[in-house]
Structure 1
Amino acid sequence: MTHAIRFHETGSPDFLKYESIELPPPGPGEARVRHSAIGVNFIDTYHRTGLYKVPLPSGIGKEGAGIVEAVGEGVTVVTPGDRVVYCDGPLGSYASERNLPASVLIKLPQYVSEQHIAAGFLRAMTVEYLLNRTYKCKAGDTILFHAAAGGVGLIAAQWCRAIGVNMIGTVGSDDKGKLALEHGCKHVINYNSENFVERVKEITGGKKVPVVYDSVGKDTWPASLDCLQPLGLMVSFGNSSGPVTGVDLGILAAKGSLYVTRQTLMAYTSSRATTEEMANNVFNMMKDGKIDLAARQTYSLADAAQAHRDLEARKTVGGVILVP
């Protein structure tokens, strides 16, 4: 008998239930992982609310780290006793143990702890593809990154500092601005007290930026376009304020022949070779001390609903984990 968080209908955090479940032996191609720590991410709230549709009833969570307990027929990528992490595959990481496809598991190097990596592997992998693949940031670039004090934003700030990129980060309070600066932001803009478009123009001497990274969505979309240089790239990778809808493509032409992309990590991790390459880049950044993924908030697995309440109320900063 093991325990897992499940939901039988979509809606508020109250629908997350801590349930006892029977876990069968891992099937062909599967591995059983006993979790040491489980990452909590904003995408989890999209599944819970129904913004991203999933069959019900459902488990929840995409990220976890722990020990391989057993493997099914045909599994060769991991063996029992391996320390592993994952951020893809079927929903269901909010569990003390689970079976999942072994193909999504990545072995951990000795210098990375399970609790440390679980607090930010999905976020770090997101930053890796945003800065290395969606738009290849290089030393000397000045970029705009919304929600700079969030889980992804703080890792992005550290990564940018390490590679010499000047990150302008937006935040919702002066305290969050201070945190973003401490993690590597070159400039911060409190969007509750400053016009971020005018500040971006001021910081860049009127040149504006070649790329905007936006996980906020509806609230920041129109003004973000005004921060871009001609032929600039608007990167949407989340919608914490609500999805962007009703886009008039003519606006992109009027504002400088802009490019727009809506990114997901899963498009990159569909290839195991790419996933391993990305993970190794993350591990190397951790090994060299260039990024720190340590959790800033820890909840018990049974308190997952409270973790979601705090996440949606913007009470959390940086990484959040559940511990079985």
Structure 2
Amino acid sequence: MLTHAIRFSAHGGPEVLRWEALELPDPGPGEIRIRHHAIGVNFIDTYHRTGLYPVSLPSGLGQEGAGVVEAVGPGVTEFRPGDRVVYCGGSLSPVGAYSEVRNFPAERAVRLPDDISFETAAAVMLKGLTAQFLVRRTHRVQPGDTVLIHAAAGGVGLLLVQWAKRLGATVIATAGNDEKAELVRAHGADHVIVYTRENFTERTRALTNGRGVDVVYDSVGRATFLGSLDSLRPLGLMVSFGNASGKVEPFDIGLLAQKGSLFLTRPTLFTYIAEREDLLAMAEELFTALRDGWLDVQIGQRFPLSQATEAHRALESRRTTGATLLLP
């Protein structure tokens, strides 16, 4: 069947993205064909586009989508045409969510409950599961913990703030301007640092009476890495899970000893959901949080699928808040 998708043939800036027609074959063994109703845009997509996380070219793009199953391939028994599904890709499945229709491994898809919209699902699946594993598994946030969350007005950041507060933590968050700071505060942060005019390390130390925080969740990367280490208490945990400002420079691991026998981890969602039973259990916890009403998903921007270039420009220029969607 003929369909359209965003593809690219060279690594580079948003301008390398192209809206192309392509012929989609029938789903193969173990695959389902999904017609997208909403597609999530994530910072990892820019890493694939630029080559920071290389993909074989030419390539599609995108890891997260929600839609309806149109056909199933040989051997698929869990899904049937008409089922609502959502997915967030990963190392076990190909990129290519920026498309009207695609074939996708059935074992990596999750049935979408009827009471959760396609837009909410596409906005929250990758980011929500990321927030879930960060506060429930990478560091099990406990009542009384104090956490520092960078880029707190972003898609993952806003969910992290809410989830950490739900688990009883004191949340210190950073944001780039007053408007974003108000958004973060409205979602439960106890303290918000506008990093463009305050030194977040000094402010964090002041807020914790010099002690430092138990854990830092840092998706910014190069610009905040050393300051994040300096914000931790002795034996604190640095969770570096993104590179929005660029890849972290190599450093002497002796710094971890000098700064208080610190712990450092660089986790990825796709390790945590590699086993299907983990994927389904984490998704169910996420869906329950949405149903219970305490997890608010902010969709800040919507772009037509064909305008993915503009979505990437907005994301990389820090002009977005919450989740960004592409709509076929």
TM-score in terms of structure 1 length: 0.98
Q: CA deviation at 1:103?
A: 0.6
Large movers: runs of 4+ above 3 Å: none
Equivalent pair of 1:211/1:233 in contact (CA under 8 Å): yes
Measured in 2, the distance between the counterparts of 1:205 and 1:144 equals 14
Q: How does 1:108-257 map to 2 (within 5 A)?
A: 108-257=112-261
Q: CA deviation at 1:124?
A: 0.4
Q: CA deviation at 1:314?
A: 0.7
Measured in 2, the distance between the counterparts of 1:7 and 1:77 equals 33
Measured in 2, the distance between the counterparts of 1:77 and 1:188 equals 45
Spell out, residue by residue over 1:77-96, the C-alpha distance to the aligned partner (whole angstroms, 9 max, x if none). 21111101000121000000
Measured in 2, the distance between the counterparts of 1:294 and 1:245 equals 32
Measured in 2, the distance between the counterparts of 1:230 and 1:132 equals 21
Measured in 1, the distance between the counterparts of 2:305 and 2:180 equals 27
* Match in the other structure for 1:71: 72
* Match in the other structure for 1:13: 14
Equivalent pair of 1:211/1:234 in contact (CA under 8 Å): yes
Quick check: 137-146 or 92-101, which moved more?
Answer: 137-146
* Match in the other structure for 1:323: 327
Q: Look up the SS of the partner of 2:293 in the other structure.
A: coil
Equivalent pair of 1:131/1:137 in contact (CA under 8 Å): yes
Taking only the aligned residue pairs, the percentage that are identical comes to: 54
Measured in 2, the distance between the counterparts of 1:118 and 1:18 equals 20
Equivalent pair of 1:117/1:293 in contact (CA under 8 Å): no
Spell out, residue by residue over 1:258-296, the C-alpha distance to the aligned partner (whole angstroms, 9 max, x if none). 110001001011100001111011001000011122422
* Match in the other structure for 1:82: 83
AA in 2 matched with 1:11: G
Equivalent pair of 2:35/2:70 in contact (CA under 8 Å): yes
Equivalent pair of 2:155/2:298 in contact (CA under 8 Å): no
Aligned residues: 324
Measured in 2, the distance between the counterparts of 1:313 and 1:137 equals 31
Measured in 2, the distance between the counterparts of 1:140 and 1:77 equals 42
Q: CA deviation at 1:310?
A: 0.6
Q: CA deviation at 1:171?
A: 0.9
Q: Look up the SS of the partner of 2:256 in the other structure.
A: helix
Q: Look up the SS of the partner of 1:59 in the other structure.
A: coil
Q: Look up the SS of the partner of 2:171 in the other structure.
A: strand
AA in 2 matched with 1:48: R
Q: CA deviation at 1:138?
A: 1.3
Q: Which runs of 5+ in 1 are unaligned?
A: none
Equivalent pair of 1:212/1:233 in contact (CA under 8 Å): yes
Equivalent pair of 1:151/1:318 in contact (CA under 8 Å): yes
Q: Look up the SS of the partner of 2:192 in the other structure.
A: strand
Measured in 1, the distance between the counterparts of 2:319 and 2:282 equals 30
Root mean square deviation, CA, Å: 0.9
Q: CA deviation at 1:163?
A: 2.3
* Match in the other structure for 2:61: 60
Q: CA deviation at 1:162?
A: 2.2
Q: How does 1:100-115 map to 2 (within 5 A)?
A: 100-115=104-119
Q: CA deviation at 1:231?
A: 1.0
The question of 1:303 aligning with 2:307 is answered yes
Measured in 2, the distance between the counterparts of 1:202 and 1:305 equals 41
Q: Which runs of 5+ in 2 are unaligned?
A: none
Spell out, residue by residue over 1:162-219, the C-alpha distance to the aligned partner (whole angstroms, 9 max, x if none). 2222111011111111110011111101111111111111111222111111000111
TM-score in terms of structure 2 length: 0.97
Measured in 2, the distance between the counterparts of 1:20 and 1:91 equals 17
Measured in 2, the distance between the counterparts of 1:323 and 1:37 equals 5
